[in-house]
């Protein structure tokens, strides 16, 4: 499950998928109604991949919390995030028993449950990553080798990349000044 492209924007409810990046803004699409709009730099955006939950030990990534919810609920939706505070606390205590009750507020639990249900409804919760990571790693190791040999040809085998970069930079400058 790749949560790097799924973001939360401060001041806006719901989750958003990053579609494109412009010069002054990021184009996002709402997961609830599929409307697209620009999110500007002054808006605080947080990728779900970077969010973690306070626990009594080390903090847990939100991804791990979602996985625990998914496994314990057997792929079904969680309780209604608009439920009573006591119900939400008991539910989250059952799902993540080591969460820090002093630093994780009911509003945080409500938001996490809402996000989980949204991602589940959009079929974005896929926890079969170990096979995907191996494929990506193999692909990543092959790509740079192929990119270097095809993009720069025999010049890269000679060694000094800075010597090759300088003539390329100087040539356009001379053309522009002439």
Where are the chain's structural domains?
A: 6-47, 52-121
C-alpha torsion sign, points 19, 20, 21, 22 = negative
Here the tokens at position 177 are 């000044």
CATH, domain range 52-121: 1.10.10.1650
What is the four-CA torsion angle of 91, 58, 100, 68, rounded to 10 degrees? 0
**What tens digit of pLDDT does each residue of 16-60 get?**
999 999 889 999 999 999 999 999 989 999 999 999 999 999 999
Instruction: Check residue 31 and give its pLDDT.
Output: 94
Residue count (the chain)? 178
Pick the CATH number of 6-47 from 3.30.1330.10, 2.30.40.10, 1.10.260.40, 2.30.30.730: 2.30.30.730
Mean pLDDT by 10 residues, the chain (178 residues): 89 93 92 93 92 93 93 91 94 93 94 94 78 46 41 42 42 47
């Amino acid at each position: 499950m790749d949560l790097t492209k799924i973001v939360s924007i401060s001041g806006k409810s719901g989750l958003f998928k990053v579609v494109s990046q412009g010069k002054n803004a990021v184009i996002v699409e709402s997961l609830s109604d599929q409307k697209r709009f620009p999110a500007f730099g002054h808006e605080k955006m947080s990728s779900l991949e970077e969010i973690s939950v306070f626990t009594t030990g080390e903090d847990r990534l939100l991804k791990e919390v979602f996985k625990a919810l998914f496994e314990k609920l057997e792929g079904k939706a969680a309780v209604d995030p608009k439920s009573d505070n006591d119900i939400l606390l008991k539910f989250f205590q059952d799902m993540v028993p080591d969460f820090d009750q002093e630093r994780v507020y009911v509003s945080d639990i409500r938001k996490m449950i809402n996000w989980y249900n949204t991602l589940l409804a959009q079929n974005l919760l896929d926890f079969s990553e170990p096979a995907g990571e191996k494929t990506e790693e193999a692909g990543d190791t092959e790509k740079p080798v192929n990119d270097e040999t095809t993009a720069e040809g025999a010049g890269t085998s000679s060694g000094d990349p800075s010597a090759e970069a300088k003539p390329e930079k100087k040539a356009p400058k001379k053309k522009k000044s002439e």
